[in-house]
């Protein structure tokens, strides 16, 4: 074998092996080692091997200088031969003879002819090229014995069973029989082991078996596993092929059946069946002329198109929408005022003024004979029952109900649909509502209309104008349908938390305000609605868990003081869940919930009873927020007397700052009229603060409150008794009306203030309040600030 492995060797050059070597070479006592990573090399094998040139070139060059041109191939533990250490080599390998070495592209390739097993006795080098002293143990066992012959026959029969399952085995068997005879059990066993796909360690175990019988036992087990895997793969392949052929057969039979049925006239193809379906739908509808003409055109177009074309699918979907809409289909209104009142009372406690307003609205519809052309806006804090009132109105009228939220909606196409030029185009929400309701006069609720958005995709709020305007929606045009539909018979109900609605949209609505609940109303709601619902959700029966009225009051006043009842339901749910844990733990039922248990279940109250602030320069005002009414204390103090100055704090908006400046100017110019030192502000630096500085506040209704705080400071006199006030103040001392009177009155009752000062112009708003809200209150109405000062300071 030539040993020229220098860089001068041409790429792809074949270095001839030494043909003069004897056929049975003498086994050398020392060998150089090359690593194998995938599986061991067996003596019965002759295979080409490919290795990286860089780490093993020196080893191959050293092999070329040996007289026998033999090397030891040994399995190593790592999966990469480029970084192999002495300790990675196994103790047993195969001595092979190298033929036809070739170098190309940084790789070395040669044909390895297996000769004999060896065992490493001593390491002669610790770095490449690795050189070891070896021994060649003799095999134990008599090849001619009956037992060995029986194992050989078993191996040969197993190989025969493998041949039909994998044609690759037959090629390897032919190569083996060309070199060895079937009567050589050792070679046969090694060949059989090389056929399997066993793991590296399993095959190494076979290689290390020098006992022929033991090795044949191990190989027979591996062959049996290989046969089982091959049979399983064959079965899976057959099942897949069978399934595919069955599906193809069914497909062809179905196509033939369709053709036969069509010839006999007893069946229709898909296109004809769909056209007939559309015709059946049309027959049940009262189509306007424009819609009928468009549908006829699209039906003719569909009949001309091929079913596999994209245009066919678009047209079919368009016809599906056109024919599924309730053209001319209306439900009969059940306008019975007594029945409507029973439904409203059943579903809602309190809200008597709201119920009266809804009954008036229904009465007008009954007088006209229809409920068309109406848009209600239910406006109030979260959790006061706006959505459920809409459902009750729909039930009272006997109409279908459809609700969707427009909160955060930024795409005009959500309202008026996509044009059919878009892929995946769909009609807008209102057409979808008509389809689901199945009538042209449903009750459609638009939730969170005050939170509708706008973006580069259009302004949905403006798109709502056409839908909600009674003068326009009789000819509503959806971009997808491109056919006008009459929405004038539908009843639209919108909900919002505040009036941040475009004025053009608000102008088209009839506003009904829901101001929130007082404690007595919340107790009734909790008894009749919330507590039964909480028990049902917790899987409890009424006789397993009860709650006292005093406990309900404690939850309302201590944990859920907001205007609505959503948080109240959450707190009751917490109580029920803790009770369920006790019941499952073996507690006796019924469990009775009192005030003491409430604090044990819900910890200490979140809210303590507010006591109105008092003192010089401190006055309690009333404010309206989107969450309901609230008390608004205002504090004024003199910082120093070095110079004149006025400072405002409390995260106040622009309007509220202007109100404070007006109050300061008015009080400073009328100190003598109210019995105060007229020069008080000339040498005083005054600081006016509205507590809860992290909460934004704005609006003119705190004008009289700020003026009273400044006057209290100037007079060095505190308010005579707990009084809450609201009203806008002008520079001439007039008290102008403000909004949110109901919410503000409820807020005053909540903190225990029974004496109020309101603008005279708001007297009618107070008189409209339910009697149970007005009961026990002393209210003073003022046209000018002098009347406010007389009440406040006596």
526 close to 568: Cβ distance less than 8 angstroms: yes
Q: Where are the beta strands (DSSP E) in 641-777?
A: 645-649, 685-689, 724-725, 728-729, 735-736, 755-759
Instruction: Please provide residue 463's backbone torsions phi and psi, each rounded to the nearest 5 degrees.
Output: -65, -25
What DSSP string runs through 211-280?
BHHHHHHHHHHHHHHHHHHHHHHHHHHHHHHHHHHHHHHHHHHHHHHHHHHHHHTS---HHHHHHHHHHH
The sign of the CA dihedral 521, 522, 526, 527 is: negative
Q: Is the pTM of this model over 0.95?
A: no
CA 561 to chain centre: 32
Q: Where are the beta strands (DSSP E) in 583-684?
A: 591-593, 618-625, 628-640, 645-649
Output the pLDDT for position 170. 63
Q: How far apart are CA 156 and CA 187, in angstroms?
A: 12
To which H or E segment does residue 664 belong? Answer: helix 654-669
Output the pLDDT for position 245. 73
Any idea what DSSP says for residue 27?
P
Counting residues of the chain whose pLDDT is more than 70, the rounded percentage is 90
The residues pairing with 375 across neighbouring beta strands, listed in sequence order, are 492
Any idea what DSSP says for residue 333?
P
To which H or E segment does residue 379 belong? Answer: strand 375-379
Output the pLDDT for position 9. 35
Output the pLDDT for position 61. 79
What DSSP string runs through 43-102?
TT-EEEEEEEHHHHHHHHHHHHTSSS-EEEEEEBSSS-GGG--GGGB-SEEEEEEEEEEE
Q: How far apart are CA 480 and CA 693, in angstroms?
A: 50
Neighbour tally for 300: CB within 10 Å: 10
659 close to 613: Cβ distance less than 8 angstroms: no
494 close to 452: Cβ distance less than 8 angstroms: no
Q: What does the H/E/C string look like for 430-498?
A: HHHHHHHHCCCCCEEEEECHHHCCCECCECHHHHHHHHHCCCCHHHEECCCCCCEECCCCCEEEEEECC
155 close to 217: Cβ distance less than 8 angstroms: no
Instruction: Please provide residue 465's backbone torsions phi and psi, each rounded to the nearest 5 degrees.
Output: -60, -45
Annotation marks residue 374 as catalytic: no
Query: Which residue out of 186, 488, 684, 701 is catalytically annotated?
Result: 701
413 close to 311: Cβ distance less than 8 angstroms: no
Output the pLDDT for position 59. 80
Spell out, as residue ranges, where the chain has pLDDT lower than 70: 1-25, 81-82, 166-182, 244, 261-262, 264-270, 372-373, 454-458, 608-613, 626-628, 693-694
Residue 786, SS3 per DSSP: helix
CA 97 to chain centre: 66
Output the pLDDT for position 14. 37
531 close to 571: Cβ distance less than 8 angstroms: no
Q: How far apart are CA 75 and CA 34, in angstroms?
A: 9
To which H or E segment does residue 36 belong? Answer: strand 30-36
- Report strand pairing: 510-513 vs 375-379: parallel
Q: How far apart are CA 735 and CA 729, in angstroms?
A: 5
- Say which residues have a Cβ less than 8 Å from residue 153's Cβ, sequence separation at least 6: none
From 242, 219, 195, 209, select the one nearest 119 (Cα to Cα).
Answer: 209
50 close to 85: Cβ distance less than 8 angstroms: no
636 close to 613: Cβ distance less than 8 angstroms: no
- Say which residues have a Cβ less than 8 Å from residue 225's Cβ, sequence separation at least 6: 196, 198
- 779 sits in the region (left: phi over 0; alpha: psi -120 to 50; else beta) called beta
Output the pLDDT for position 694. 64
> What is the torsion angle, in degrees rounded to the nearest 10, for the CA atoms of residue 156, residue 157, residue 161 and residue 167?
20
Output the pLDDT for position 338. 86
What DSSP string runs through 135-170?
E-PPPBS-TTSHHHHHHHHHHHHHHHHHTTT-HHHH
438 close to 326: Cβ distance less than 8 angstroms: yes
Q: How many CA atoms lie within 13 A of 255 on its CB side?
A: 6
Annotation marks residue 697 as catalytic: no
Write the CA distances from 734 to 164, 663, 701, integer angstroms: 108, 11, 13
């Amino acid at each position: 074998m030539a040993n020229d492995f220098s860089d001068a060797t041409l790429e792809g050059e074949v270095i001839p092996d030494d043909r003069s070597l004897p056929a049975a070479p003498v086994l050398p006592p020392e060998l150089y080692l090359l690593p194998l990573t995938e599986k061991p090399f067996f003596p019965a094998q002759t295979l080409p091997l490919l290795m990286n040139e860089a780490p093993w070139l020196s080893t191959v060059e050293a092999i070329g200088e040996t007289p026998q041109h033999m090397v030891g191939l040994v399995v190593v533990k790592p999966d990469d031969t480029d970084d192999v250490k002495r300790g990675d080599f196994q103790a047993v390998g195969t001595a092979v003879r190298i033929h036809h070495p070739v170098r190309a592209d940084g790789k070395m390739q040669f044909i390895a002819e297996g000769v004999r097993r060896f065992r490493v006795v001593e390491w002669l080098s610790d770095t490449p090229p690795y050189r070891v002293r070896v021994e060649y143990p003799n095999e134990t066992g008599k090849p001619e014995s009956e037992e060995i012959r029986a194992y050989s026959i078993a191996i040969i029969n197993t190989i025969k069973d493998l041949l039909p399952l994998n044609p690759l085995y037959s090629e390897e068997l032919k190569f083996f029989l060309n070199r060895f005879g079937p009567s050589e059990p050792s070679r046969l066993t090694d060949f059989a082991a090389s056929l399997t796909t066993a793991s590296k360690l399993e095959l190494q175990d076979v290689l290390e078996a020098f006992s022929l019988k033991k090795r044949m036992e191990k190989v027979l087990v591996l062959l049996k596993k290989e046969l089982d895997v091959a049979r399983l793969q064959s079965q899976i392949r057959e099942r897949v092929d069978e399934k595919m052929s069955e599906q193809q057969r069914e497909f062809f039979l179905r196509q033939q059946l369709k053709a036969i049925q069509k010839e006999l006239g007893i069946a229709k193809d898909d296109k004809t069946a769909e056209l007939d379906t559309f015709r059946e739908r049309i027959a049940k509808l009262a189509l306007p002329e424009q819609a009928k003409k468009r549908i006829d055109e699209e039906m003719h177009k569909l009949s001309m198109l091929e079913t596999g074309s994209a245009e066919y699918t678009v047209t079919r979907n368009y016809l599906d929408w056109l024919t599924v809409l309730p053209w001319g289909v209306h439900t009969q209104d059940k306008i019975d005022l007594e029945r409507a009142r029973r439904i409203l009372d059943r579903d809602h406690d309190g809200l008597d003024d709201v119920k009266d307003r809804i009954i008036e609205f229904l009465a007008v519809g009954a007088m006209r004979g229809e409920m068309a052309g109406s848009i209600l806006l239910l406006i109030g804090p979260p959790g006061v029952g706006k959505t459920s009132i809409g459902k009750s109105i729909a039930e009272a009228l006997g109409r279908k109900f459809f609700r969707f939220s427009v909160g955060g909606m930024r795409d005009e196409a959500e309202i008026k649909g996509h044009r059919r030029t878009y892929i995946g185009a769909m009609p807008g929400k209102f057409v979808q509502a008509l389809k689901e309701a199945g009538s042209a006069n449903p009750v459609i609720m638009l939730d969170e209309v005050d939170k509708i958005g706008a973006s580069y995709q259009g302004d949905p709020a403006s798109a709502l104008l056409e839908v909600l305007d009674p003068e326009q929606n009789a000819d509503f045009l959806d971009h997808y349908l491109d056919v006008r539909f009459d929405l004038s018979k539908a009843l639209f109900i919108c909900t919002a938390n505040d009036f941040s609605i475009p004025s053009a949209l608000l102008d088209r609505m009839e506003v009904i305000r829901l101001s929130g609940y007082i404690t007595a109303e919340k107790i009734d709601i909790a008894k009749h609605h919330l507590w039964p619902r909480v028990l049902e959700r917790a899987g409890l029966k009424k006789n397993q868990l009860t709650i006292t009225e005093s406990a309900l009051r404690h939850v309302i006043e201590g944990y859920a003081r907001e205007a609505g009842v959503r948080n109240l339901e959450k707190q009751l749910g917490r109580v029920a869940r803790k009770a369920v844990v006790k019941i499952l733990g073996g507690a006796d039922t019924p469990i009775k919930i009192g005030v003491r248990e409430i604090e044990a279940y819900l910890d200490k109250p979140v809210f303590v009873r507010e006591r109105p602030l008092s003192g010089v320069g401190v006055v309690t005002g009333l404010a309206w927020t989107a969450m309901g009414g609230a008390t608004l204390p205002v504090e004024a103090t003199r910082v120093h007397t070095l110079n004149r100055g006025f400072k405002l704090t409390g995260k106040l908006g622009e309007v509220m700052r202007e109100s404070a400046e007006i109050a300061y100017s008015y009080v400073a110019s009328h100190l003598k009229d109210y019995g105060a030192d007229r020069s008080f502000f000339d040498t005083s630096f005054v600081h006016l603060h509205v507590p809860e500085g992290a909460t934004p506040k704005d609006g003119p209704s705190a004008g009289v409150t700020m003026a009273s705080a400044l006057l209290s400071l100037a007079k060095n006199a505190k308010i005579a008794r707990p009084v809450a006030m609201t009203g806008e103040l002008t520079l001439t001392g007039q008290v102008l009306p403000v909004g949110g009177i109901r919410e503000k009155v409820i807020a005053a009752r909540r903190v225990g203030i029974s004496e109020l000062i309101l603008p005279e112009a708001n007297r009618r708003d107070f008189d409209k309040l339910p009697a149970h809200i007005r009961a026990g209150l002393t209210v003073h109405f003022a046209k000018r600030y002098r009347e406010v000062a007389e009440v406040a300071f006596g």
